[in-house]
């Protein structure tokens, strides 16, 4: 813990904070830049908590008041896709305490589901402590079943104290199922008839003339309904009831099906954007599912009359790499862990 800012300070206090073991310690052992009180690497963007300790020359207890062993990085404004190694540079791999603090009212966010708002990536050494007083937000899942993104990931051991909000991105809604609809098409065609037949059953009777190409031709005294199916077409006599010499008019009809596409699912809620609703599909196709809110899966797409809708995307994790995290939660979390 930091050296007291006022009151008595002893070499025992300095040894406990900056040196290991129980042996004697002197001021010459505690210059900044030595093995006990480190200086910052040039690419370390954090604060040296012992910056008041001199590197050479005169040194006394006053130089240590309020000082502590470690580096600290403070987020005072928003940022995206953050990695701890980038904050501490070459010092990230040094066995020395490191602190990351997200101030109240500050949001760190992920701009894609392949990123996290904050990642404590591999290669870190020493005690790493993260205190979140603000918000960590994952990216939303893409439309049509995209999984939501993670808010925080730990690839090495760390301590996470949440006093704010950590929220995973919502899953994308599923796509609606496909559909189709039929349209009755009719075509009239002149054709030569060549064969006489007799049509008779308990419902209808009449005389039919069958034309070339299996067309059914209407003829004199043939007012009843009749049809013949061949080759996927349904052939029916025309509305005409009289025949010209050697030729008449025939009608053929069939149902033609038109395929339609299911509606798109909505995007899940994530950093810097809300969730989106699904859209309608074509005729007899399913509507896309709505995107999920922070920490929630999306909705499945509705089925069409040809195929079922797609399943929704799952929400992301508010912590990924939980086994590496000593977690204290005093705030709000949304989503799961892995």
14 and 157 both lie in a single domain = no
236 and 302 both lie in a single domain = no
The parent domain of residue 321 ranges over 74-94+109-172+292-338
- pLDDT score recorded for residue 199: 35
C-alpha 40/C-alpha 46 separation (Å) is: 8
187 and 145 both lie in a single domain = no
- Kindly report the CA angle at 331 between 146 and 83, in degrees rounded to 5? 55
- pLDDT score recorded for residue 186: 58
55 falls within a domain: yes
21 falls within a domain: yes
102 falls within a domain: no
What lies within 8 Å, CB to CB, of 201 at 6+ separation is none
242 and 255 both lie in a single domain = yes
- pLDDT score recorded for residue 185: 67
Strands (E), 47-110: 47-48, 71-75, 79-80, 82-83, 98-102, 107-109
90 and 2 both lie in a single domain = no
154 and 235 both lie in a single domain = no
Per-residue pLDDT of the chain in tens (338 residues, 90 and over written 9) = 899 999 899 999 999 999 877 788 899 999 999 999 999 999 999 999 999 999 999 999 999 999 999 999 999 999 999 999 999 999 999 999 999 999 999 999 999 999 999 999 999 999 999 999 999 999 999 999 999 999 999 999 999 999 999 999 999 999 999 999 988 765 544 443 333 333 333 333 333 434 444 444 443 333 334 444 444 444 444 333 333 333 333 445 567 889 999 999 999 999 999 999 999 999 999 999 999 999 999 999 999 999 999 999 999 999 999 999 999 999 999 999 99
Residue 223 neighbours by CB distance under 10 Å: 12
- pLDDT score recorded for residue 21: 74
307 falls within a domain: yes
C-alpha 148/C-alpha 124 separation (Å) is: 27
277 falls within a domain: no
Q: Which residue(s) pair with 160 in the sheet?
A: 130, 327
60 and 208 both lie in a single domain = no
Q: What are phi and psi of 323, to 5 degrees?
A: -65, -20
211 and 251 both lie in a single domain = yes
194 falls within a domain: yes
85 and 156 both lie in a single domain = yes
> What does the longest C-alpha to C-alpha distance in the chain come to?
128
Residue 167 neighbours by CB distance under 10 Å: 28
268 falls within a domain: no
100 falls within a domain: no
Q: Which residue(s) pair with 237 in the sheet?
A: 250
Domain count, the chain: 3
59 and 134 both lie in a single domain = no
pTM: 0.81
78 and 167 both lie in a single domain = yes
Last residue of a domain, one of 259, 282, 310: 259
Specify whether the CB–CB gap between 174 and 288 falls below 8 A.
yes
242 and 114 both lie in a single domain = no
Residue 228 neighbours by CB distance under 10 Å: 16
C-alpha 227/C-alpha 236 separation (Å) is: 4
Q: Which residue(s) pair with 208 in the sheet?
A: 197
């Amino acid at each position: 813990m930091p050296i007291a800012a006022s009151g008595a300070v002893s070499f025992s206090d300095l040894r406990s904070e900056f040196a290991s073991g129980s042996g004697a310690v002197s001021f010459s052992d505690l210059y900044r830049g030595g093995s006990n009180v480190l200086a910052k690497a040039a690419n370390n963007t954090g604060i040296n908590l012992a910056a008041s300790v001199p590197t050479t020359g005169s040194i006394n207890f006053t130089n240590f008041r309020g000082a502590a062993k470690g580096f600290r990085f403070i987020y005072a404004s928003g940022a995206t896709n953050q990695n701890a190694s980038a904050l501490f540079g070459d010092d990230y791999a040094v066995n020395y305490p490191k602190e990351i603090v997200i101030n109240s009212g500050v949001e760190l966010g992920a701009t894609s589901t392949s990123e996290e708002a904050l990642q404590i990536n591999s290669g870190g050494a020493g005690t790493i402590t993260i205190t979140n007083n603000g918000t960590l937000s994952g990216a939303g899942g893409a439309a049509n079943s995209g999984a939501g993104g993670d808010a925080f990931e730990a690839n090495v051991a760390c301590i996470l104290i949440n006093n704010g909000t950590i929220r995973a991105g919502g899953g994308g809604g599923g796509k609606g199922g496909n559909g189709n609809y039929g349209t009755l098409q009719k075509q009239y065609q002149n054709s030569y008839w060549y064969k006489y037949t007799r049509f008779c059953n308990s419902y209808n009777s009449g005389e039919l003339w069958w034309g070339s190409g299996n067309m059914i031709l209407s003829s004199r005294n043939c007012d009843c309904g009749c049809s013949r199916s061949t080759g996927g077409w349904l052939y029916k006599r025309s509305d005409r009831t009289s025949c010209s010499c050697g030729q008449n008019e025939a009608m053929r009809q069939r149902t033609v099906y038109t395929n339609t596409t299911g509606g798109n699912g909505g995007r899940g809620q994530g950093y810097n954007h809300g969730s989106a609703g699904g859209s309608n599909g074509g005729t007899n196709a399913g509507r896309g599912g709505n995107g999920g809110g922070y920490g929630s899966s999306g909705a499945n797409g509705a089925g069409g009359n040809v195929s079922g809708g797609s399943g929704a995307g799952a929400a992301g994790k508010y912590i990924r790499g939980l086994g590496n995290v000593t977690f204290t939660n005093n705030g709000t979390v949304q989503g799961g862990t892995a």
